[in-house]
Homo-oligomer: A and B are copies of this chain.
């Protein structure tokens, strides 16, 4: 049995620092590197690729909307053609740093609002899948378990991996509870850890309604911003290891 821990990295920009890239990277097996639109800049990308190479983490591109001021978290009414081109641009940009460092680009995971919108809209989802497949159809799409992106990847035959969140509640249809809802985030660490273990081993999670739903946990997203997030990521890692689950990328 195996599972993967992924984290978003390379989110600093110029003089601005976000995230403890050097501390989260020894914990995870897979990283998603921002590509300069919602976060990241060329020097930051280059450094993040070098760090991932050093620790042997699988490298993914983490493209987002052209909204640095909103960190790519605000929905934008971009057309499928725009989303497709935006992803190709950003994946290409990160690819260059991978080639320069002599490492392989492994996957693509859209960021923030683009992740959410393409997760819920089949036309955007197909745009994401086409964007990736046209560049390299061996690239893996990392997307929310049960989302339209997973569906579109399967339609097209693009390799994909399903992502789950340790500390988020799910709707009965498998969607993440929006952060605007009071119980969107689960604050009890024990409960989070137990949920992760169950998602990985049983493929089940209790939705916010109380009903069990199916979920596919190819990769668990963890955060690296702040000592608490790092400690929590380490606990997830240790729990999985103790339960005989090998940690490796998807």
Chain B residues near A85: list those with CB within 8 A: 41-43, 45-46, 97
Nearest CB in chain B to that of A86: its residue: B42
* Residue A18, interface by CB 8 Å: yes
Q: How many copies does the complex hold?
A: 4
Chain B residues near A97: list those with CB within 8 A: 85, 88-89, 92
Q: How far is the CA of A39 from the CA of B69 in the complex (A)?
A: 11
Chain B residues near A100: list those with CB within 8 A: 88, 131, 134-135
Nearest CB in chain B to that of A39: its residue: B15
* Residue A227, interface by CB 8 Å: no
Interface of chain A: mostly helix, strand, loop or mixed = helix
Give chain A interface residues in 80-95, CB to chain B under 8 Å: 81-82, 85-86, 88-95
Interface residues on A, range: 35 or more
Q: Assess the B93–A90 pair: CB atoms within 8 A.
A: yes
Q: Mark A51-89, 1 if CB is under 8 A from B, else 0.
A: 000000000000000111111001111100110011011
Min C-beta distance of A249 to chain B, whole Å: 22
Task: Check A42/B96 contact, CB under 8 A, given A14-B71, A76-B74, A77-B74.
Answer: no
Q: How far is the CA of A16 from the CA of B36 in the complex (A)?
A: 14
Which A residues are within 8 Å of any B CB, using their own CB? 13-18, 36, 39, 41-43, 45-46, 66-71, 74-78, 81-82, 85-86, 88-97, 99-100, 113, 131, 134-136
